[in-house]
Chain A
Amino acid sequence: MKLKLLFLSAALSVAAISYSFAQTADEVVAKYIQAKGGADKIRTLTSTIMTGDINQGGMKIPVTMYAVQNKAFRVEFTFNGLTGYQIITDTSGWNFNPFAGQSKPERMTSDDIKSSQDQLELQDDLLDYAAKGSTVEMLGKDDVEGTECYKLKLTLKSAKEKTLFISTADNMLIKTSEKITANGQEMESSTFLSNYKPVGPGVMMAFSITNNLQGQVDITNIEVNKDIDAAKFKP
């Protein structure tokens, strides 16, 4: 009992000390990368296949996402025997949505491709961010629905900006937000991440991803570093 108490009060005082110092962006990033599993493990990821469901109010649509680091990304979903998909590569992008009446894949606009290409980063935007040409600015602390977070502004090499919210309690990324342009209008796209589980070599990944515009995706399985047929990334 005594030991437990000591541990508790030690934990409390450590917490008190760490809160009393302002954190730099790099310190927060370092803690985050560590909490995610560490840079070495994250760097081993070269491809992922995530399977799960788009889940909106209990309505489930099976979805699979394929990603090859810095090369290609594909999301496909199946309903009623029909499959739609989106492909983003380092050079092109395609949409095929039979549910929206499309009978063949349609090429994405170059603006849309450009703004979607950050999805080709499957390891982590914050890992070695400076080497990737990105910058990170500390915006202080903010509440995400009542949970205290560090607020970072990440500016990618492409000039795309994202605001990242990292929980001060466990250094996990719980929210990202960015401005997207859809049909000429700027919109705030916010993604909440939760249900973190270790994957592959022990990298923590969110199995529940909820976006304010696109709904919730529940991941059931993530395979890493599997060969993915190149045909998957062609329309």
Chain B
Amino acid sequence: MKKLCFLLALGFYLTSNAQINSYTFGMMEARNMGPGTMSGRISAIQGVNSEPRIIYVGTAGGGIWKSTNAGASFKPIFDKYCQSIGAIAIDQKNPKIIYAGTGESNMRNSVSVGDGLYKSTDAGDNWTKIGLDSSEHIARIAIDPINSNTIYVAVPGPLWSDSKNRGLYKSTDAGKTWEKILYVDEKAGCAEVVIDPSNPNTIYASTWECRRLPYAFNSGGQGSGMYKSIDGGKTWKELTNGLPAKPFGRIAFNLAPSSPQNLLAIVESKSTGLYISSDGGETWKSQSAILNVIARPFYFSVIAMDPKDPKRVYRPAYEFSYSDDGGYSFATASSEGGWIHSDMHALWINPSNTNQMYVGTDGGVYMSLDKGATWMFLQGLPVGQFYHVRADNQKPYYRVYGGLQDNGSWVAPSSYPGGVTNAEWKSIYGGDGFWTVPDLTDPDIAYAEAQGGNAGRVQLSTFKTTDIQPKQSEGEEKLRWNWNTPIVLGASNPHNLYMAAQYLYKSTDQGRNWSRISPDLTTNDKNKQKQEESGGLSADNTSAENHCTIFTVAESPVDENTIWVGTDDGNIQYTTDAGKTWANVSANLASTGIAAQSWVSSIEPSRFDKSTVYVTVENHMYGDMNTYAAVSHDMGKTWTRFTSSDFTGFAHKIKEDIVNKNLLFLGTEMGLFASVDAGATWFRMKNNIPWYALVRDIQIEPGSNDLLLATHGRGILIVDNIKPMRQLTPEVARQDVVILPQPDMPVRNGILGGASFPPQGGWVGGNAPDLAPIQYYLKDRVVSGDVKVDILDKDGKLIKSLPGGKRKGLNKVYWDMRGNGPKTATGSTKPDQSGFVAPLALPGTYSIKLNISGKEYTQSFNLIHDDSNKDLTVQAQKDLYDNAMKLFAAHEQLAHIVDTIMATQKVLKEVAEKSKDAKTKKLAADYDKKLEDLRFTLIPTKTTSIFADERRLREEISETYVGLCYKESAPSNLELQNVQRLQQKLSETEKKKNDLISEINTKLKTKLAKEGFNLAYNEFKNESYGAGSNAQVGLLLRRTLQLK
């Protein structure tokens, strides 16, 4: 008995090893929809001085992207790490060495956090974290140009809390160890560091006191200052001579690399201004400057001088300004050639061609070839920062809607012929974009907003908009709209439209009229409502700090009278009578150990149980970065927290699957997590999703079962069809091999046509697969055996054999519903495509036979007639097939005729050469010629270029055959005539060949037999030699050769 228990325990241990994680779903991978047309905030740009076509771009929430072609295309190179980048530095003496500081330092309300400093020694292929783990924000990395083992890192440090982990750090061993060399206090960090290239012991640094609260922002304090060291940071002197009176805010400064005594500084103070020094910062002079130069110092921290010309100054800020006289006067870049996005945070000037430069904005990267006067947009960076995503119910493919940080509201089809390119994305509303919500009852209407609740109803056919924001009424307090105001459609009744300030509003007529259906649902704490005083030294209140507002609204999917509301100041309230009465259950959640003030980031009422509700809350604005998610099964009376050692990042969104109630998704500032056991255990989703993606919103589109992710830095990600996540339960995944249920497949080429021309650059978001894949699960990778997927018809006849994937977890194999092509005539100088083309199979029952290292698994499935195609009846489909198969047979018959001719010619040539009888020789040569004349009518024998058109019987058959194979309507009268004509022509050819051969036999066989020649040949057999099937062969072969 004891033994048995042990056995069982061991068995359990072994089987429970088949733990569900992202690899379980192997080939189920996300595609990045972009857009590239509207990109996201760029925080760092660095190029390789010796090879300036190589550019690294750091982004606010999309990791690092590398271009090796000066920006024509980019690839992400930091997908396994924190996605918020503060600074990048390249060791120009060995440009394979790259440092990346995580945690952007453009300290706006929505800025993310980092987790330290990383290093690559192979140009970005591999990265190692090398310290400063608690820095949260890194503003600059400066490498000593002479001794590149010496590195300085400016760390502003945490934005939302006090911290000792701020200041200027130095390493003298290429990042192995770090020493803090400039530190003010727990409130002020280091925002900038610059090394004098002519004397690398001379260092300049600025410190910055800066703090945010959820409802206020302060840039400035006694901790901010300008410093200089002449001994590599051992001792520091504060620079004050000529600078304004403290307190300072942020100081942006730089020196002229070609004349490093010349410095420029933009000093935020009570009278923010531009200051110039020509003596290495010892003395400064105030200089008048245009508004753009001194605008929003906390947000625009770059000023730069041309590497060669000390008089040429650049100030990328709200706009792009430049000076030719050392900063005494500034001009602003032209919009000739295209608008350049406002709000700039990064600049890289090519030192070997200083006309060329790259600027990073809130909407992507631009390149200039004329010193910043005009700019070209680089369209291949899909790093947009979405807040929310929604889908409509269009067919055959739904459209995706979302709002972007600083970049308005956008709509795109989820699939499009040739893939979703930048051109398919349409901008439908301005400002910062947040909720962009299609009206599911009216395909021409969407609702969108700009910051602070400025919402409109958009007519999608014209993009005309009408203001729909609810207005303050008699006896009401001033309306407090969140930066990211909720606009929500009823999950139970899509005619219900909700918006919320501190009150909840409902409209049943598309926002034309509103009813207020709640009292103030927030804490209405007046201490958190002093936004007009926000900003610090420079006033800065753009509604980003609005507080005590409703942030989340969710109508129960099973009862339109039950509505849940969450506020930014900690309240969770619900009504079950459409707003007549409200219950506040936030204290119950707080009692699980979550701070009461925490921002309620999402509420998800269950669609399977009216009393069940999921929430995420987050408290990062008080310095608490933990992941908080919970469920209640009793309308919020009691809560169970979800926990996992995998969790990272504060929580934005929890989503319950629409079919399997045990399947949950959780999006945080650092990753997407999933649970297949109702939240008991969680795993990080890595399925082509950046591991630490900023996942702000999650949707599941019911028609396609696609998972939509609004990321704040990688645009919209779509995981096409997540059904496998419902099917591969822990029990199922314990088996070694599982074929997933195969849906009925309509017989067709696909859903979409192809694009006529490839996209001319820019990002391509791909498409959903046009065909349902055959999907199977492997518990382990197949290393030592082979995997084959055979498709059999109902009689067990093999139709097609496909190579199978071998990876652990879910594998996908695509069958194009065709068998193998015919054997076509060879011996030509020109290939023929028919060998790779077969007609679409007919509707009926088929089966999948999966062969894994000799072990077989089978499952049957149906091909069905495509009822959506009104141009193709069941009969017409059969006619297509039958006629195509007649020409299939014709091809094989022709192949045999040609083979026979050529085999005979081979002998005749030999005879003509070797026979001892002159008459025989002559006869053989004559017949060889006659056969060649016949062959000449059957296949191209002259062409040496693929661009030449040599049309013979084989080509005639192919033309009609291939047409029929791809046609999705009844064969035409002329096609049917052609089939008959070609068959006729073929029988005539067969006869000609037979006549000739029998003549040869009659005249020559006996003679030849005497001389030992053999004229025997095979009779034609009507069976395929079994070539493959795919018209792509030419392409494949070309690739095979050229890329080798």
Contacts and interface: CB of A to CB of B under 8 A. Distances in A.
Interface of A: 5, 8-9, 54-61, 75, 77, 79-82, 84, 86, 95, 97-101, 103, 112, 116, 139, 143, 145-147, 153, 161, 163, 167, 170, 172, 174, 180, 182, 184-186, 189, 192, 194-197, 207-208, 213-216, 218
Interface of B: 6-7, 10, 21, 23-24, 26, 68-69, 122, 125-126, 780-786, 800-803, 806-809, 814-816, 820, 824, 826-829, 831-832, 835-836, 944-947, 1027-1030, 1032-1034, 1036-1044
A56 B786 contact: no
A172 B836 contact: no
Given A170-B783, A174-B781, A195-B782, 10 more contacts: A57-B803, A61-B1028, A79-B835, A84-B1037, A112-B1044, A146-B809, A153-B126, A182-B1042, A186-B68, A189-B1043
A214 B806 CA distance: 17
Contacts, number: 165
10 contacts: A56-B1032, A58-B1028, A82-B831, A86-B1044, A100-B1034, A101-B945, A146-B808, A170-B784, A192-B806, A216-B803
Contacts of B6: 5
A95 B1041 CA distance: 7
Contacts of A56: 1028, 1030, 1032, 1036
Contact of B808 (A59, A60, A84, A145): A145
A189 B784 CA distance: 23
A146 B783 contact: no
Contacts of B814: 57
A208 B1039 CA distance: 19
B783 A61 contact: no
A5 to B, nearest CB: 7
A101 B24 CA distance: 44
Nearest to B823: A80
B943 to A, nearest CB: 10
Nearest to A197: B784
B826 A86 contact: no
Contacts of A196: 783-784
B803 A55 contact: yes
B1043 A214 contact: yes
Nearest to B1029: A59
Contacts of A207: 786
Contacts of A80: 824, 826, 828, 831-832, 835
Contacts of B784: 170, 172, 194-197
A156 to B, nearest CB: 15
Given A145-B23, A208-B786, A101 B802 contact: no
Contacts of B23: 143, 145-146
Given A99-B1037, A145-B807, A214-B1043, A58 B785 contact: no
A119 B1043 CA distance: 14
A172 B780 CA distance: 14
B1030 A58 contact: yes
A61 B122 CA distance: 37
Contact of B1036 (A5, A192, A215): A215
A64 B906 CA distance: 25
Q: Chain B at the A interface: mostly helix, strand, loop or mixed?
A: loop
Given A146-B781, A167-B783, A81 B10 contact: no
A119 B45 CA distance: 38
A213 B784 CA distance: 23
Contact of A79 (B7, B785, B1037, B1044): B1037
A204 to B, nearest CB: 9
Nearest to B800: A58
Contacts of B807: 145-147
B802 A58 contact: yes
A206 to B, nearest CB: 9
Contacts of B836: 59
Contacts of B1042: 95, 97, 100, 182
B26 A145 contact: yes
A185 B1033 CA distance: 24
A35 B126 CA distance: 27
Contacts of B801: 58
Given A147-B808, A194-B806, A84 B1028 contact: no
Contact of B1033 (A59, A143, A216): A59
Given A100-B1037, A101-B947, A58 B781 contact: no
Contact of A99 (B122, B126, B1033): B1033
Given A58-B820, A79-B831, A86 B126 contact: no
A100 B1036 CA distance: 10
B1030 A57 contact: yes
Nearest to B1040: A214
Give the one of A79, A174, A189 with max B CB within 10 A: A79
Nearest to A85: B1041
B644 to A, nearest CB: 19
Contact of A161 (B7, B122, B947, B1038): B122
Nearest to B1034: A99
A167 to B, nearest CB: 7
Given A55-B803, A146-B23, A216-B803, A77 B1040 contact: yes
Contacts of B780: 147
A181 B653 CA distance: 42
Nearest to A112: B1044
Contact of B782 (A86, A97, A99, A194): A194
A197 B783 CA distance: 10
Given A145-B23, A194-B782, A58 B1029 contact: yes
Contacts of A61: 1028, 1033, 1036-1037
Contacts of A77: 1037, 1040
B1038 A99 contact: yes
Contacts of A101: 945-947
Give the one of A99, A172, A214 with max B CB within 10 A: A99
